[in-house]
Structure 1
């Protein structure tokens, strides 16, 4: 990485120069630098509205960058150790879908863990690729899906030698990492691309005490959520490419779905945040690691909770663990994770990332401090004191259910369908998703058989207050099922 070059922020610099030019706007957006919407200007600030501008010659164009955006992308590639980086303004959802659509066409196979984010399966609905799911390992103690076993990936590759790519979560929502380097080498031996969903792995690129990044082990593409742990604005992301992946073709695929009106607020936030991480990332994440390790130790002293960490590493399905993830198992205090999540928000004014059936996750990153960590730990302790339940026999004893895949996601999504009460759907094939969001990992995806275990899980999640999404019926009382297999 060229540290001297990384001090540049070309999009920011171009916007500052543009503001000094005092150009009279007769283009979009219609608020005309905030003058046409005073209420919005007062809420967001004049400084913000004056840089909410349209693509133009001095500011370049994200669809076909030739100047400042091109330079910003080159700097991002240098910072992340990639052949090229694309600024993404549709979130990591857009980046994940773009890399799948680069690797696969209709009918092509892609090997992926079943606990992928819904954006990956949505990409299959759009492009018609065929998933070969590798079921992740399971940790029954904390009830979470783990990473993919090397042997399971090898088996999938040998049984599907025509697959075009292997997709890997690096890490999962809970901080679990698969053996990415070994999987990458294996996939390449068989002529397959390796795609990494690094929505929660931005920080891997800037600290040697964290798991290996996708680019460092030779993966071909990676989608990176700069806004999650890197400090940029929500919805801003990066798509990284490596090896012989065609930069021009990737740009074409991105432009199929990405807006032609890219936000300069988002792009400048990527530019500024990349510079900050490139210059100060190591010390930033050294501090984050210290804070989370402190929180993990303090929470484990409370009793009843289990803030898990590197002790889960087994060299395979948990090849490594992201120690910046503050994942806490809650069932031993008789509370579902979603119940602790709700209590933290409603009673203590603390918003964590998510709570599921058995765990909570707090994201700690560039903007946190020890005072906030202490408040979180003390609130978790008080929740145990005030709300713990002795009877935990009714707690559901699993978090991940192996799916029975009957049809491809695209075929099921577009198949003739009918809506039935979800309680009466056992045995049918789903035409849509059901998921808790966050984290957005489907309980049920299009093309999968609906089983009683799945229905029990959905009902339990509803009872505990999980936010369920995915079906046409917003109340999740009915579900679309395939009527012609």
Structure 2
């Protein structure tokens, strides 16, 4: 296929030239009904914020330009089919889970998944079988899925229907995806990959294997995170053993019937850009990231980690486009450095947690931006460094699962002061966002270690979400 084509974008340009009089939605009628918004976003944006119609196809049941754009995306990513997702990668992750497992069926997954995966279990009632990731004790971060642990989970749960893998993790750590796929397929299980941070794996060199190349059955890809499309736009990729028609039915259970043409055209044009120029784009991205890692490590105190962590198992590979930096040795939590970068230096990085920060290096970065980040980190270290004694030393606590997320979430519950909740079963989520990996999920035992972690995260300024009580002074328990 001609990857230089962008069918949705081209159809929108043709539509604009027709000067159609709108008596349909959206009600702003090409911006005339909301002049302030039109002035803010621009007339061209409002002109293409349109409804589904015959010349522009329909996202729920594409037969023309959206269908062609999906086929181009599938070819670019090496998939059997690619679905345009406009409810974010959250909806792609949930569609994978809904398509693979039903209520009462088991799914094997790491516990350090994004909340979207556990939310899917709350909705559809599948039973999680957690493979607890290893933890790097020096950095305090969860790792990938050990092949031995996956084999053990499959052996103990031969009736499971699917294996779910984060690849890469938020920190850039990758599992041995090919081996996991091989083991799961031998057991008759599907492999679902949350590849939210792995768009570049499909287009760059010297990067970890992509889900489709590894033979996974489904993958959710956040094109907006690393690929240049607009926020909330993603792809859901499927491989040979998954039904395209059934997957679309599943997607249509939750995805909007009013697909945004702003989001879809951004996916279309971003796919075109990466298909034509991706290797050169990501060569530059990796050069910038490698330079930044080296310069940060020269500062002293920080540790910008990379493939030096690889152990061939739970850290099978590392995403070199990730600038993950350990901060605890300068006496500052990651969230403290995150806040300082934003408040004092006008630099917004992806996230800061208890001991680490993450800066995303991607298609839009420049050498000047990298230099500004490095110099700011150097100044923070010089001015704010302090002893690290007494700092919390790990990001992940293995949960004790008492009941399924669905049963716990919908059970009768009561609200108790969080400091008095140890020994009770949680019926809601508690997490720092980003990254959105639950500290507690519905159905898990609340332990003193978890309460210490939550108190420390709140003290350091982490943005805590998920609970009904916005301040998380109280928590819902069974």
Corresponding position of 1:459:
455
The one of 169, 191, 213 aligned to 1:216: 213
Corresponding position of 2:143:
146
Corresponding position of 1:406:
402
Distance in 2, Cα, partners of 1:250 & 1:319: 30
C-alpha displacement of 1:154:
0.1
Q: Are 2:149 and 1:130 aligned?
A: no
Distance in 2, Cα, partners of 1:208 & 1:331: 32
Corresponding position of 1:421:
417
Corresponding position of 1:448:
444
**Secondary structure in 2 aligned to 1:419?**
strand
Query: 1:177-256 residue pairs with structure 2 within 5 A?
Result: 177-256=174-253
Corresponding position of 1:356:
353
Corresponding position of 1:433:
429
Gap regions ≥5 residues in structure 2: none
Query: 1:42-441 residue pairs with structure 2 within 5 A?
Result: 42-390=39-387, 392-441=388-437
Corresponding position of 1:475:
471
> Runs of 4+ in structure 1 displaced over 6 angstroms?
none
C-alpha displacement of 1:398:
1.5
**Secondary structure in 2 aligned to 1:43?**
helix
C-alpha displacement of 1:397:
1.7
Distance in 1, Cα, partners of 2:286 & 2:310: 17
C-alpha displacement of 1:134:
0.2
Measured against aligned partners, the alpha-carbon deviations of 1:93-118 in whole angstroms (never above 9, x if no partner) come to 00000000000000010000000000
Distance in 1, Cα, partners of 2:21 & 2:145: 56
**Secondary structure in 2 aligned to 1:476?**
coil
Gap regions ≥5 residues in structure 1: none
Relative to the length of structure 1, the TM-score reads 0.98
Distance in 2, Cα, partners of 1:56 & 1:478: 49
Is 2:147–2:313's contact at 8 Å kept on the other side of the alignment?
yes
Corresponding position of 2:34:
37
Distance in 2, Cα, partners of 1:389 & 1:374: 24
Distance in 2, Cα, partners of 1:372 & 1:79: 30
Relative to the length of structure 2, the TM-score reads 1.00
C-alpha displacement of 1:208:
2.5
Count of paired positions: 478
Measured against aligned partners, the alpha-carbon deviations of 1:285-323 in whole angstroms (never above 9, x if no partner) come to 000000000000000000000000000000000000000
C-alpha displacement of 1:13:
0.2
**Secondary structure in 1 aligned to 2:414?**
strand
Distance in 2, Cα, partners of 1:164 & 1:62: 29
Distance in 2, Cα, partners of 1:208 & 1:154: 30
